[in-house]
Structures are given as structure tokens and as C-alpha cells.
Structure 1
Amino acid sequence: MPTRETPWPPGTPCWVDYGAADLEAARQFYGELLGWQYTGGDPDFGGYLNAEKDGRQVAGLGPQMDPDDPPRWTTYFASDDAAVAAARIRDAGGTVVVEPMEVGPMGTMVIALDPQGNPFGLWQSGEHTGVQRYNEPGSLVWNELAADDPAAAREFYTAVFGFRFEEIPGAEGYTTFATGGDPLGGLGGVVPGAPKGWSTCFAVSSTDGAVATVTAAGGKVLLPAEDTEYGRFAVVADPWGASFSVMEVPAG
């Protein structure tokens, strides 16, 4: 059961959260799908919920801030200085949408767009260090970017986070990114039928079972389940149109 309760290294995808059009319905949908319990909901933090698996936080859910912005999962990258990282985003041609903002004692957040318009976030941890349980059913297992121009995206994220990229043989130019040893996520081109931008992949004990749960609740299958060398994988959308993926991993 991989766990972590200290801040993640800079550049690591350390948190994901969901801006919900219907927070209570989203809470129920993801709770049933991923076995989550919830804490938080304090009005001082806008009703924001921490989703937990076995008592450790795995993701966040909050009300949709902008009604013109569709419900989506946002990937946040760890930063030890959000203001400095925000400056690097601007210098590399990106846009800072939400300037560094302290969230009480929890930490400091930034919301930004890369030069191709793909949203992502930064998280400088305080009391809230990000994901505490990962790579097991009901938790985050992978983050990746589907970009219109992968080469330009690699240049941007290298400038911001210092990523190095390694191409996976036979994967049509798909690369992993890392700052040190193990890969932290992936980056590739847009796949027909699949969404572009940053995507969140949750580990599940049964991909086919998860897909059935999604469709029974009114969601859609964007890329049907298929076996890969990393596990059985599918891309889906929830009943409100927010896309994410599921990957079958052995139970801990």
C-alpha cells in the first residue's frame, strides 16, 4: 500500500481535484466508483472535500468555480515556491489564471494554462501535502498530457519543471517525463476519440467493472477497455462530461 505523508518533490504530479457542477451528485458517483469517503466541506474553504481511501487523502472535489468552465479533473504539480514557478510559466509562454493564492494553512495554489491552452495547477504544500495514498485501487496511478504539439509541450514543461523525457519504443512518440529516477507521468499527441489536455488515471481493481459502473450511472466510454503491458485500461467520461481514465492494478 504505497503511502506518503510528506511534501512531494517539485515537478511531481501531487494532487488532482474536480470542479463539480453538482457537488453532491459527483460525491456519490466517485464514492461508488472508487470507494471514497470524504472529509472537509467547510464553508470557509468553499465546501471543498478531500476524498479519502482507508483514511488517507487521494483527491479533492469542490464546486465548479466558473459556470462557463466545464467540469474537469485538474492535475497539480508540486512546487517548493509557487511564485517562482508561476514566473517560469509566464516566461515560457504560459498564462497564470490564478496567481499564487494561500489556502489557509493548507498550502498555496496556482492555476495556469500552457501555451496550447491546457489547464494545470501548482501546489506548494503547507499542512496539506497532496496525495497520501497512490498506485492502488481507488487512488491516483498516472497523469499524462495529450497535446496538439507534443514537441512544443515538452519544451514548455522542461522550462517550467526541468523535466527530461524518454520515448517509449513503439508508442508513436509517446514519452514519459521525470526529474530524477522513475517516470512521473506521460506526454503524447492527441488520440482520435480521446480528450486532449491533462488527464487523470485512477487505479481500479477491475477496469471492466469500473466501466460498467460509469455507464450505469450515465457516463460514457471514450476509449473502450484494452489490455496493455501496464494493465487493462479505459478512458471514460462521468455523467457531466468530465473525462478520466481507469487502470486495473492488483489489490494491495
Structure 2
Amino acid sequence: MARDRQAAERFYGAVLGWTFRTGGFGRAFSVAEQDGVPVAGIGAMAGALAVPVAWTVYFSVDDADVTVARIRERGGTVGVGPVSYPPRGRAALATDPEGAGFGIWEGRVLSEWSVGDGEAPTWLELHTKNAFDAAVFYGEVLEWAAEEGSGCCDVSYEEDQVVLRREGRPVARLNSGPVEAAAARPQMRPRWLVHFKVPDLKAAQAAVVENGGGIVPDAAPWGEGKLRVTVSDPDGGLFTLDQSPSAST
């Protein structure tokens, strides 16, 4: 969710080396690609929807109306939608019981999207007060592990983390950690973190600052010692840079 699509493209192109092409939703939207593979979407809708600039995680669902009903039944809040985007599909924006925002999407999904560990350019992490409670909420709302072998997602519990896998590959991790409700430190609120992998973490950090973004301190206290840093774009949108595992050290 950006305010100015072209400004966002300039920033993320400079920091992450992305190229952009027009998506199927009009001039306000674009698809970011890395080496020809879709990585993320940018939509200049933050102003129109009166929401902060932010990266939003979207989960694919079979029926947006059914999923919205489940969200409300289980203590979440639906802020927008479902909204139709003919002929592509329908979307809604919601928050879980702890206040972490996410989206749902009913419709066609690009087969080239790749999220998770290993060589995928992006992975997801939920910062929440209680990862196990969050796993119950999202599991029921999104039908994770609904049917064995159905192609849905499998949930496992590893140490203090809940790990979400699709076809055996980790795509998201849910972490318990200290949270704050105060808006003064949005990085400490319950939220979905979007991680983008880069070949040179120091160079990417420098590019963030050079292009009007900032480094966010104390964003993920459980990540101490790991090769990652949380940053913000010029409009305050938070995201995390990770050293790519394929890069030489």
C-alpha cells in the first residue's frame, strides 16, 4: 500500500534492484520482479483507503465471504471488503485478534510467486504475543492443514516458533515476543513482517538511507545475531532485509 506508485518504484528499484511491470488492476498497480520472477505488488491505494503505507501479507482463499465470516467469528476485525477487482478476483483487509493486519484474496494467483526459505526472494514472519494462539486463529480462518494431502498448508511447532509449510517448504514463521500497543513504536506492535533477501546486506542498508528511507532500531529482539535488519521506506512502510543464504560471506 503506497501513496505514490512511481516514487515507491524508484525507491524499491534502487534498494532491491527490482524492475516493474503493469499488473491487471489499472495504472495504480504494478508488479515488482526480480530476475523476471514476481516478488511483490505495489498499489497506490493508501490515500484512497485512508490507511498507512505498509506492506500487507495476502493469503489466497477459495471464498472471501466465508473467510471474512470466520475472521469475525474468531475475534478478528474486517476493515475493508470484500472488494471486487473484475475480472481478477476479490480482496479484503483484516486484523487478527492481536491487531496484526493481513489481507485475503479470492481469485487467480500467479503461478510464478515464490515465498519461503532457500532461494525464494521473500519470506514472512508474524510478530505476536502468543504464536500458538495466532496459529489457532489463522489455522481456523484459512484452513491450514484442513485436509492431509489436500495441497493446503501444514503447521509444525519447532522450539518457540510455529512454522507454516506448503508442499514441505517453510513459507512463514509465527513468533512469540514482546509487543506494544503504542503507535510511537510501530515496529513493536503485532504485525506481519515481510522479509526481502539481498545479496549484500550492508550495501542494501546504505541504499535505503541514500534514497530517503531509514534504519529501524529494536525491530525484532529475537533476531539478534542474525544477518537481517528492519528498515522503512520514505513513507514509513516497514520491511526487513535479510542476507541471502546463497551469497558468499
The match for 1:233 is: 228
Name the SS for the 2:67 alignment partner. helix
In 1, the alpha carbon distance for the partners of 2:115 and 2:132 equals 29
The match for 2:151 is: none
Greater RCO between the two (CA within 8 Å, min separation 6)?
1
The match for 2:11 is: 29
Name the SS for the 2:57 alignment partner. strand
Check 1:40–1:248 CA distance in 2 against 1; reply closer, same or farther (3 A cut).
same
On the 8 A contact 1:235/1:244 being kept in 2, the answer is yes
RMSD: 3.0
The match for 1:161 is: 142
- Kindly indicate whether residue 140 of structure 2 is the aligned counterpart of residue 145 of structure 1: no
On the 8 A contact 1:101/1:110 being kept in 2, the answer is yes
In 1, the alpha carbon distance for the partners of 2:169 and 2:117 equals 17
Matched to 1:242, the amino acid is G
Instruction: From the two aligned structures, give the one with the greater strand fraction.
Output: 1
In 2, the alpha carbon distance for the partners of 1:138 and 1:32 equals 21
Q: Any stretches of 5+ residues in structure 2 without a counterpart?
A: 145-153, 180-184
The match for 1:82 is: 64
1:237 is displaced (CA, Å) by 1.3
Name the SS for the 1:85 alignment partner. helix
1:74 is displaced (CA, Å) by 0.2
The match for 2:176 is: 189
The match for 2:205 is: 211
The match for 2:107 is: 125
| Total equivalences in the alignment | 225
In 2, the alpha carbon distance for the partners of 1:139 and 1:209 equals 20
The match for 1:113 is: 95
Give the TM-score of the pair, scaled to structure 1. 0.76
Name the SS for the 1:96 alignment partner. strand
In 2, the alpha carbon distance for the partners of 1:57 and 1:178 equals 20
Q: Which moved more, 1:182-191 or 1:87-96?
A: 182-191
On the 8 A contact 2:115/2:123 being kept in 1, the answer is no
1:21 is displaced (CA, Å) by 2.6
1:102 is displaced (CA, Å) by 2.4
Name the SS for the 2:13 alignment partner. helix
On the 8 A contact 1:59/1:131 being kept in 2, the answer is no
Matched to 1:168, the amino acid is E
Check 1:95–1:166 CA distance in 2 against 1; reply closer, same or farther (3 A cut).
same
Identity %: 32
Q: Which moved more, 1:217-226 or 1:62-71?
A: 217-226
